Amino acid sequence: MMIDFSPVILHVDMDAFFAAVETRNNPHLKGKPVVVGGALGGRGVVSTCSYEARKYGVHSGMPTGRAKQLCPQAIFISAGLKGYVYASACLQSIFERYTPMVQPISVDEAFLDISGTERKYNNPIDLVQEMKNEVWEKLHLTCSVGVSPTRYLAKLGSGLNKPNGLTILDHEKFREQFFPRPVDALWGIGESTKKSLAKKGILTVADLAKTDSKILKRIFGKNGDTLSVMSRGTDTGKVMRFDDLPHDKSMSHETTMRVDIQDPSLIRATILWLSDKVARRMRKKGYVGKTISVKIRSSDFKTITRANTIQRNTDRCDIIYDNALKLVPKEYGMKIKVRLLGVRVSHLKKIRNSRGERLHPEDNLQLELLEDVSEIQINKLTGAVDAIRDKYGENVIKYAGSMR
Amino acid sequence: MKFSLPKSRLTRYLQSVLSVVPAKSTLPILSNILLECLDKKLKISATDLDVTIMATIEADVSKKGSAVIPGRMLFDIVKDLPESEVTFEGTANRIELKVPNGSYKLGGVSPDEFPELPVVNIKKQVTVEAESLINMIKRTTFACSNDETRPALNGVLWQTKGDKMIMVATDGHRLARVSVENKKLKGLNDDVIIPPKVLDLIPKFISSDKDEIGIIFEENRIVFNLDDIVVSSRLIEGPYPNYEAVIPEKSDKKMVIARTDLASSVRRVSILSNSLTHQVKFGVKNNQLVLSTTNSDVGGEAKENLVCEYKGETIEIGYNAGYVNDILNKLESDEVIFELSTPVSAGLIYSTDISKEDYICLLMPLRLTE
């Protein structure tokens, strides 16, 4: 296998990451169907499952109840995030031994740009093999790697030969392998896009690649271009290190209720709990924002979102809560049963870097004529609660109103 | 219902009531206006639930009745008609507008669905001199805040003290206070906080020949009675912060300067100021004011020297240029007075024509960057 393209971009995807970590830690799970997910009794969803469980049709995102029906003998484990985060940090440092250009995408995925390593490795494949070996030796985990000239192709490539795969996918191979397949073989095309495309007679990836991007733009707006690029494998995105990544555009949190709720006080409590989560994360990462939105899914799976932009940027839970609550139509929680609630803050502005230093000192130059005493008090209180949480954990202190 | 009236009269009042019709609303009924034919009068009403405007106009009514129809649509039709008598005829469900060259038909909504109009309790009405009220409004509303985290500052405070009535507005960075002699308003015991949106309508609606404006204070509401137009508004809940505590008593650093010269210098210099803070530095010493600014983004620097009257200690102080000019625009006199104290405390700005007790503005500085 020789590589004749540049740049050389890898997509490394850990195989059944959470399940693999659990199996590694508990060897008796080896060879058995393992399902890792949240809230086993209720309505949690599957985070990951081992390949043994996948044979029964279990997949991530599926309600755990459904997984239990499909594979009753599976071993269900509730996700223990700390172990995964540790393994993920180890992975990151292994990747960085091979190239500084590592872009983590999630706990178990990363893009690496290994262009320029030719002097050390004649063939980039040697590097990939060595890296895979190191991951196995140090962590006893396997990964699948896609090797391509673009990020998007690398991502598709890593999914082709799972588990423990190594796939080179250049443009030619992409056309060979993907063009005959239905459009949803592409990463990022789901059920609804597939349906809209089918209406226009676009069924395969080849059909999509042939379609003029102007036509796609008319149907899908901005996303039309993206579809075009995806189907032709022509994305030009660069691998970016974590520090160079663009700032977050929004922060959100959502939750599926254990049972559908029809009680306005529970709606309020949940919105408060979600607002607290979002506000806390914004403060941790140094963001303020001014567009607040809610997402509500009723028991009949109809989902609505409502948004409002306030005058001043904020990272305060009470302000996010007040505004989010106003956006929830009255009939929800009264006439209409609620299944899922979400709170999001967007139009974010980064005001502090990771060291806590202010990024825009000019924002604070205007002196106040009438100090907002309540604001000063709330900020002090929030600071104290944040400090307690940093030291003792998120759940040791919470709003009484958010108890559900 | 059936009525007719001259096009120009109808246009004028439609325009007035439309100023409260929201451009888009979650409640579609609010984009409509209510037409009611009474004895020889046509009453047009519109509301956004916070503010309600009711205009009563002379019209030739031949059949009583009422209808609710899309407000902006009606206005757009009427405003472009040639000057003529327009006639409306129809039922609550459908209205026909007859004009010399043809006719327009509009579907209506049942008048029962229109929000209930506030009751105007004319017995409780007090009157205020129109000119002073309009002056007070024009001199204060600009300083209101639009930050909804401090709702009280979103309105103008109106209070009586002795035989004075006082209006105050502030956004926490600048403040305007007007005080006017008035004996009639003594009945206003409680402070009220009024949304600036409704106050700004009063000068527009009042006809020049009116000397007095009727006002009715209700719990949570205020009503302005301009005879042909009645405006009712929700009040903002208090308490209003203790603004008196932040007005400085006296100062030894008093600068007197030509108002329009200063305003245009500030405007020019601020072109090169930081685009977020609009900071302009005021350096005052020995009868001279130096305005300066820098903007590292464009490598810009600006400086202008102005003659002023100043004998105090040398001082350098930073202000938001936009705030300075908002105030200078309101003061109207040839010369204005700045009373300064320190670079981090509020400055007092007032006109040489009006006593300090009657109209002052306060401006909080920007911390100097260099």
> Of A22, A52, A96, A109, which is the active-site residue?
A109
- The predicted-structure confidence for B245-297, as pLDDT tens digits, reads as follows 999 888 889 999 999 999 999 999 999 998 888 999 999 999 999 999 998 88
The domain tally of chain B equals 3
Taking only the tens place, the pLDDT of each residue in A296-340 is 999 998 999 999 999 889 999 999 999 999 999 888 888 899 999
**Judgement on whether residues B91 and B202 belong to the same structural domain of the protein:** no
Say whether both A6 and A70 belong to one domain.
yes
Cα A253 to Cα A291, A293, A307, A344, A357: the distances in Å are: 14, 11, 15, 7, 26
- Judge whether B44 and B95 are in contact, CB under 8 Å: no
Q: In terms of domains, do B149 and B237 share one?
A: yes
**CB–CB contact A362 B364 (8 Å):** no
Residues whose CB falls within 8 Å of the CB of residue B16, separated by 6 or more in sequence, listed in order: B53, B55, B204, B205, B229
Chain A residues contacting B via beta carbons under 8 Å: 310-312, 314, 319, 360, 362-370, 372, 375
Strand order across the beta sheet in which A338-350 lies = A250-261, A338-350, A287-298, A303-314
Which ipTM value was assigned to this complex?
0.79
The reply to whether B314 falls in a domain is yes
Residue A396 lies in a domain: yes
Question: CATH number for the domain including B132?
Answer: 3.10.150.10
Same domain, B227 and B283: no
A355 compared with A270, residue with greater pLDDT: A270
Within this chain, do residues B231 and B133 fall inside the same structural domain, yes or no? yes
Nearest to B148 among A310, A372, A375 (CB): A310
CA neighbours closer than 13 Å in the CB half-sphere of residue A203:
2
- Distance between CA atoms of residues B41 and B45, nearest Å: 13
Residue A145 within a domain = yes
Domain range spanning residue B67?
Answer: 2-113
Domain's final residue, options A158, A174, A190: A174
The answer to whether residues A38 and A126 belong to one domain is: yes
Residues A205, A125 share a domain = no
Asked if B173 lies within 8 A of A366 by C-beta distance, the reply is yes
Instruction: Select from B244, B261, B286 the last residue of a domain.
Output: B244
Rg (CA), chain A: 24
* pLDDT values of chain B reduced to their tens digit, one per residue, 370 residues: 999 999 999 999 999 999 999 887 778 899 999 999 988 899 999 999 999 999 999 999 999 999 999 999 999 999 989 898 999 999 888 899 998 888 999 988 999 999 999 988 888 888 899 999 999 999 999 999 988 888 999 999 999 888 889 999 999 999 999 999 877 666 566 889 999 999 999 999 988 888 899 999 988 999 999 989 999 999 999 899 999 999 988 888 999 999 999 999 999 999 999 888 899 999 999 999 999 999 888 889 999 999 999 999 999 999 999 999 999 999 999 999 999 999 999 999 999 999 989 999 999 999 987 5
User: Is A176 designated active site?
Assistant: no
Contact across the interface for B276 and A375, Cβ inside 8 Å: no
B142 and B87 share one domain: no
Helix then strand count (H, E) for chain B reads 7, 25
- A203 lies in which domain range? 179-232
Q: Are residues A114 and A25 in the same domain?
A: yes
- B8 & B78 share domain: yes
Q: How far apart are CA A389 and CA B145, in angstroms?
A: 35
Asked if A220 and A361 sit in the same domain, the reply is no
**Could you tell me which residue, A40 or A92, shows the higher pLDDT?**
A92
**CATH code, A389:** 3.30.1490.100
| Inter-chain residue contact B369 with A311, CB threshold 8 Å | no
Count of structural domains within chain A: 3
Residue B289 shares a structural domain with residue B329: yes
According to DSSP, residue A336 is labeled: B
Same domain, A86 and A135: yes
Tell whether A9 and A157 lie within a shared domain: yes
User: Which pLDDT score is estimated for A7?
Assistant: 87
| Final residue before a domain boundary, out of B113, B134, B164 | B113
Among the candidates B224, B244, B264, a domain finishes at B244
- Residue B86: what pLDDT? 92
CATH code, domain with A202: 1.10.150.20
The verdict on residue A239 lying in a domain is no
Do residue A100 and residue A162 come from a single domain? yes
**CA of B129 to nearest chain A CA: how many angstroms apart?**
31
